[in-house]
Structure 1
Amino acid sequence: MTYEEIAEMLEEMGLPFAYHHFAEGESPAPPFLLFLSPGENTFSADNLAYFSCKQLDIELYTDKKQPELEEQVESVLSQHEIYYTKTELFIDSEELYEVLYEMEV
């Protein structure tokens, strides 16, 4: 999946988004999304890379728990047939919930 394809998929989620972070002073009010590719898993043999999967993290930030918004994000991922794992935490210093979707594309 290319950067452009990922951006198109995120647009379907209907929330502001940025790669890794928003520029200083440009962060929107929650809810918003951040995405990043923290690594890549490669299958190789005989000194050749045969297949590669990029890791993709999509982070949903909200100021209150919003299950309907999570369902909206998950619906788009399902429509694109993307398997993900989901974790959640509360960031005390930011007073924000982070729902993290981790997947390979």
Structure 2
Amino acid sequence: MTLSELAKKLNALGYPVAYSHFKSRQDPPYICYLIVDGDTFNADNTVLLEIPYVDIELYVINKDLVAEKKIKDMLKENKLPWDYDEIFIQSEGVFKCTFSISFID
């Protein structure tokens, strides 16, 4: 999978999607995704594999199991295991549900 393929799959979920952030304020629910880290596999002074670590962030006003399930189903369909974290951002009045994934690009 590539980052652009991931973007297409996220866009197909029906929510506004942006890499890192939106240029204007969005009303939840919306999705941001971002490369937060990465690894490479090297041999003979050449990078053979790139492995980006990506956070998919779902922002919602109230707990939204339907939106979360859409993301989980898309990740399962594409055989992308994830870790999950959720926090409430008091200053914004939203929950941020983060699905952390990695794949070979």
Q: Same fold (TM over 0.5)?
A: yes
Percent identity of the aligned residues?
A: 31
TM-score by length of 2: 0.89
Distance 2:2 2:71 in 1: 19
The SS at the match of 2:74 is helix
Deviations 1:35-70 (A, max 9, x none): 011221112244332322111110000000111211
Structure 1 residues 66 and 41: alpha-carbon distance in aligned structure 2, compared to 1, 3 A threshold: same
Residue pairs, 1:15-94, within 5 angstroms: 15-23=15-23, 26-94=24-92
Higher relative contact order (CA 8 A, sep 6+): 2
CA distance in structure 2 between the aligned counterparts of 1:80 and 1:18, rounded to whole angstroms: 20
User: Which stretches of structure 1, 4 residues or longer, exceed 4 Å deviation after superposition?
Assistant: none
Q: Secondary structure at the match of 1:39?
A: strand
Q: How many residues align?
A: 103
**Aligned counterpart, 1:6:** 6
Report if the CA contact (8 A) 1:42-1:49 is conserved. yes
* Match 1:98 to one of 79, 96, 99: 96
Quote the RMSD (CA, aligned, Å).
1.4
Residue deviations 1:46-104 (CA, integer Å, cap 9, x gap):
43323221111100000001112111111111111111101000001101000001011
Q: Distance in 1 between matches of 2:2 and 2:67?
A: 25
CA contact (8 A) 1:90 1:97 kept: yes
The residue type paired with residue 16 of structure 2 is P
Q: Mind listing any 5+ residue stretches in structure 1 that lack a counterpart? A: none
